[in-house]
Structure 1
Amino acid sequence: MSQYRNLTDDEIRRLEASGCSASSWSDVSVAEEFRTEQLAACRLEGRVRIGRDARIYRSRVCNYDIGEESLVADVSALECRHASSFGNGVAVATMNECGGRTVKIFTALSAQTAYLAALYRHRPQLVAALDRMAEREAERARSEVGRVGRRCRITGCRLLREVNVGDEVQLDGVSLLENGTLCDGARAGIDVKARDFIAAEEARLDNGVIVERCFVGECCRLDKAYSATDALFFASSHCENGEAAAIFAGPFTVSHHRSSLLIAGMFSFFNAGSGTNQSNHLFKSGAVHQAVHLRGCKFASDAYVMSPALEGAFTMVMGHHTHHHDTSDFPFSYLIEKEGRSVLMPGANLASYGTVRDIEKWPTRDHRTRRRDVVNFEPFNPYLTEAMLHAVDTLHTLADGEPDAPFYNYRKTVIRQTALRRGITLYNKAIAAALGAMLERGGAPLEAALEEPGHWLDVAGAYIPRSEVEALCDAVERGELTDPREIDDRFRDFARRYDDQAHRWALSIYARLLGHLPSEEEIAEAVRGGHNAREALREMTDADRARDCSPDKAVGYGLDGGEEERLLDYRAVRGLD
């Protein structure tokens, strides 16, 4: 670590000759190796400390430590005007515009801790404890002097006020940053305006983004004039052009279109089509309603949902839906509008190649290095399998109640009989595939089959039993866990044990389906059956892909040629063999 010293009289004379000035040179300290060429035409005010090889050119700096090998050039003001926590402790009104689910942000915030703070309001002692943790993080960060880390590049910016900057951060052409923190490797670019914010490791804000009271998580990207207020973004989310207000954007939330609005809701592994909108217009009691779109939901162009509403995991939503549906019992479904009604096609998304493509692409796009958020990409897991088992029971109950009915009403949706029967078939295949996959991985004694299966959750990307989450919450309330990093460690510890726990759960479910304790031979048969079921599902999705890649889709290709040129052009552009 560099040793710091005051400037010599000779250095001060040379600095003033190069256009530098200071409110008090005695408040300026420099690394032992300091050379006067490191400063030119700059104004230093208050306490300023300059690290080894750090450079300041044509900029005003007030109350800042500039880390070694960092550059500050052509900056109108880099100033810390008063004591600040630099965005730590800012209250973000996520999901509920009136503040009913407010989360206090800090640099070490994970998706899982934020989930507990936002969703577990029924446990006020837990929420209070989490708030205290956030307040302690804010107090630790509090200082009257701002910090720029090592090897940073801050150029062509206007106003940077009460902003802490980690190592290897780049700020270029920023208009305004105020009361915030940019963690290691973060980027902010042209015309960005951000207030009361934290940008986690490798986050990127660029091209006219406007952010207020937001947490932008690790490797998240907000770009192309995106506007976000009271929003939390986690793990590689990527939003451009549109707008977000009061949202909890779990891992891999994506919105790329100018006309899309994400508002008052929770998202995770989500994709918003052009014109996507979720309104919160039932203002009889104010903007208090919310929508939850569980993992993997996708909205087609111009899809609209009026809050409150809830969709099951991996649901494709098309059309307008204003009846406040709840399809959480039916993952992998289509929800479409027909004649003003919300028509549900249970399990239909299991036959879509788009679902396979989404599930396979997410791990390849995870470029995080810090990995504070726990993210489980496993497609065959207890959470989704439990939902599918419940879906099959529900569909059988509906069919048994009215065997000859042409359609069934369920939680503000309509399920046609043909869709119901196909849903049962698809779900049963997927259940067999999932149980076989879980029984093939991990390990547990056969006696685990006698255990109660237990309910599993998807906590902002982490699959975990509810019992584990409740035990963690109890520990927080008892004061056994007092640091957010300890909470993260609990989630990470379970993630390491996930395969074994999923195996135990699958054993107990399989025993109930059989009606007896399974033998090793029966387990081996379930594993083989799982392989067969996965192959059958893959055949369906591959057939769906083949339809999407068929010559019928070559319309508009090979414009200046005949049929042969059309197909050659189509295959070349689509990358087809």
Structure 2
Amino acid sequence: MSQFRNLTDDEVHRLEATGCSASSWSDVWVAADFCTEQLAACRLEGRVRIASGARIYRSRVRNYDIGERSLVADVTALECRHASPFGNGVPVATMNEGGGRTVKIFTALSAQTAYLAALYRHRPQLVAALERMAAEEAGRVRSEFGRIGSDCRITACRLLREVLTGDRVELDGVSLLENGTLCDGARAGIDVKARDFIAAEQAQLDNGVIVERCFIGECCRLDKGYSATDALFFACSHCENGEAASIFAGPFTVSHHRSSLLIAGMFSFFNAGSGTNQSNHLFKSGAVHQAVHLRGCKFASDAYVMSPALEGAFTMVMGHHTHHHDTSDFPFSYLIEKEGRSVLMPGANLASYGTVRDIEKWPTRDHRTRRRDVVNFEAFNPYLTQAMLHAVDTLHTLSDEEPDAPFYNYRKTVIRQTALRRGIALYNKAIAASLGAMLERGEAPLEASLGEPAHWLDVAGAYITRSEVEALCDAIERGELTSPDLIDERFRSFARRYDDHARRWALSIYARLLGHLPSQEEVDEAVRGGAHARRALREMTDADRARDCSPDKAVGYGLDGGEEERLLDYRAVRGLD
């Protein structure tokens, strides 16, 4: 405390004259350049330290350090009543309401570390090691004194109890924060109530949001009365109006509508339409079921999925589904309800411009600066390509078993023969596009094709091989990776070499398709073929966009004019040339 000093008697008299009081002025410490104008009509209790330029007006402060140039004004109570870890170490019952996947949160938690803690329960030593790290993080920050960082603005708030902030944090009109941390640049606004939480860098909570036992990741936004309990939100997720309970919301999970309900599930790059209900209505054994919606899934308005269920990546879900489907083998599909059955249209989403728009918009909406979560936006990647290869094999097997069947039953879904044939064609085109793109980038010798193809995973936004994840888990269990930062660096290190790993995988797959070690000429041909396939796919999706922008969609435009005005109004509003 050498940079701080006690108040002089003269300063105490001046402060008391402006309505300030303290339980003990000897416990108030100020910066060397302190002037009495920095305090007015405030009550200071316990130990309070006021850094250079910090100001406290019309507020009660107890056991707090106020950082440089920060403002605390019109706050009913900013107090640390007891020793606290400020949200670190709080157990969050993510994905499963029964608590079997509980993750202990801390300020340095990444999506990848949380994924391991939640999904790898079959490795109890790993889970125990991760929980020890969380406990160490909680112990490191545990204190009897709260802290407000530098350049913060805390105004018109009611009860702030056991709250820790980083720098440049803004709290305006908050109703209640208790046992939580807000990292650099985070914001909480009007009528927010949050208990047992962590808000990462640049996270925002505003307009009546209620959260309890939650981690709100970097650049995430919860707004307009959203309610969340036992939930994890990662990189750039944005949820408003609705409700979440026990969910793992991976990067770019979006829900904007008042009627959305997400319970006991895993999401990633997800979009919830109005009336979305991903719920758990099987309570014979309690709230023990869960659903998983792999990367890029989207629910249409009023879509309903009863847990347990699993959809393949980039699946569009429409209608009500209660038969507990598993479509993980079929990415880029439609899953629709027809006559009470779940009808699967394999690969149909490859022809949708909406898929292209989603994939292209996510990188432009990534405004993170810390970037703790590893996020790979690459459209043509081993993870999705291996799924499409498996989908083609599965569709051929179904067709070969019953060549003339009008439809096929598969994992509680129905696939019509016409959809099966179209799915094979779409997948084959996308596979060629993907292999060409991966062969074109990265560095790996042709001899790499001799190796066994690695199995790829999507670990909460990071594409990575299963062998690398297993090796990482082994290293944690052996005590070689002893901190969250070391775990995150392992994921980042793989991500930096992603193109090399993807090319190596593509070479091994291409060799198996050819039946021999590919020559450079054959690789070059695959690259050219991939470019052609990507152009063909883009022409297909652009045609889909053209249909969506056609004059047929101009219904309701140019109300007070004729046909010419209708089209002119339509083009002006839609921004069409």
Bin of the TM-score, shorter chain as denominator length: over 0.9
In structure 1, the residue matched to 2:327 is 327
In structure 2, the residue matched to 1:296 is 296
Specify the code of the residue in structure 1 equivalent to 2:393.
D
Specify the code of the residue in structure 1 equivalent to 2:141.
A
Deviations 1:94-115 (A, max 9, x none): 0010100000000000000000
In structure 2, the residue matched to 1:544 is 544
Name the CA distance, whole Å, in 1 between partners of 2:153 and 2:571: 45
Deviations 1:416-439 (A, max 9, x none): 000000000000000000000000
Specify the code of the residue in structure 1 equivalent to 2:442.
G
Residues 1:276 and 2:281 aligned together? no
Alignment TM-score, normalising by the size of structure 1 = 1.00
In structure 1, the residue matched to 2:54 is 54
1:385-400 residue pairs with structure 2 within 5 A?
385-400=385-400
Specify the code of the residue in structure 2 equivalent to 1:290.
Q
3-state SS of paired residue (2:444): coil
1:17-32 residue pairs with structure 2 within 5 A?
17-32=17-32
In structure 1, the residue matched to 2:229 is 229
Tell me by how many angstroms 1:454 deviates. Answer: 1.4
In structure 2, the residue matched to 1:172 is 172
Name the CA distance, whole Å, in 2 between partners of 1:208 and 1:188: 10
Name the CA distance, whole Å, in 1 between partners of 2:568 and 2:159: 54
Name the CA distance, whole Å, in 1 between partners of 2:414 and 2:129: 43
In structure 2, the residue matched to 1:153 is 153
Deviations 1:462-496 (A, max 9, x none): 00000000000000001111101100000000000
In structure 1, the residue matched to 2:367 is 367
CA contact (8 A) 1:2 1:32 kept: no
1:325-474 residue pairs with structure 2 within 5 A?
325-474=325-474
Name the CA distance, whole Å, in 1 between partners of 2:155 and 2:90: 27
Name the CA distance, whole Å, in 1 between partners of 2:316 and 2:404: 28
Tell me by how many angstroms 1:2 deviates. Answer: 8.2
Q: Which runs of 5+ in 1 are unaligned?
A: none
Name the CA distance, whole Å, in 2 between partners of 1:368 and 1:89: 24
Specify the code of the residue in structure 1 equivalent to 2:415.
I
In structure 2, the residue matched to 1:116 is 116
Residues 1:566 and 2:577 aligned together? no
Name the CA distance, whole Å, in 1 between partners of 2:195 and 2:41: 28
Name the CA distance, whole Å, in 1 between partners of 2:125 and 2:214: 25
Specify the code of the residue in structure 1 equivalent to 2:307.
S
In structure 2, the residue matched to 1:510 is 510
Residues 1:103 and 2:103 aligned together? yes
Name the CA distance, whole Å, in 1 between partners of 2:158 and 2:474: 47
In structure 1, the residue matched to 2:197 is 197
Name the CA distance, whole Å, in 1 between partners of 2:263 and 2:205: 20
Specify the code of the residue in structure 1 equivalent to 2:252.
F
Q: Could you tell which deviates more after superposition, 275-284 or 82-91?
A: 275-284
In structure 2, the residue matched to 1:182 is 182
3-state SS of paired residue (1:502): helix
Residues 1:495 and 2:495 aligned together? yes
3-state SS of paired residue (1:458): strand
Residues 1:11 and 2:11 aligned together? yes
Name the CA distance, whole Å, in 2 between partners of 1:558 and 1:212: 48
Deviations 1:300-343 (A, max 9, x none): 00000000000000000000000000000000000000000000
In structure 1, the residue matched to 2:131 is 131
In structure 2, the residue matched to 1:83 is 83
Specify the code of the residue in structure 2 equivalent to 1:84.
S
3-state SS of paired residue (1:48): strand
Name the CA distance, whole Å, in 1 between partners of 2:526 and 2:381: 15
Name the CA distance, whole Å, in 2 between partners of 1:157 and 1:454: 53
3-state SS of paired residue (1:374): coil
CA contact (8 A) 1:315 1:349 kept: yes
Name the CA distance, whole Å, in 1 between partners of 2:221 and 2:62: 30
Tell me by how many angstroms 1:284 deviates. Answer: 1.1
Tell me by how many angstroms 1:87 deviates. Answer: 0.1
Name the CA distance, whole Å, in 2 between partners of 1:485 and 1:91: 20
In structure 1, the residue matched to 2:248 is 248
CA contact (8 A) 1:6 1:30 kept: yes
CA contact (8 A) 1:2 1:52 kept: no
Tell me by how many angstroms 1:279 deviates. Answer: 1.7
CA contact (8 A) 1:158 1:174 kept: yes
3-state SS of paired residue (1:72): strand
Specify the code of the residue in structure 2 equivalent to 1:369.
T
In structure 2, the residue matched to 1:554 is 554
Name the CA distance, whole Å, in 1 between partners of 2:375 and 2:533: 26
Specify the code of the residue in structure 2 equivalent to 1:190.
I
Q: Which runs of 5+ in 2 are unaligned?
A: none
Name the CA distance, whole Å, in 1 between partners of 2:212 and 2:562: 55
Specify the code of the residue in structure 1 equivalent to 2:439.
L
In structure 1, the residue matched to 2:94 is 94
Identical columns (%): 89
Deviations 1:320-371 (A, max 9, x none): 0000000000000000000000000000000000000000000000000000
1:25-44 residue pairs with structure 2 within 5 A?
25-44=25-44
Name the CA distance, whole Å, in 2 between partners of 1:63 and 1:2: 18
- The 1:165–1:153 alpha-carbon spacing in structure 2 relative to 1, beyond 3 Å, is same
Tell me by how many angstroms 1:192 deviates. Answer: 0.1
In structure 2, the residue matched to 1:306 is 306
Specify the code of the residue in structure 1 equivalent to 2:316.
M
Name the CA distance, whole Å, in 2 between partners of 1:196 and 1:543: 49
Name the CA distance, whole Å, in 1 between partners of 2:522 and 2:536: 21
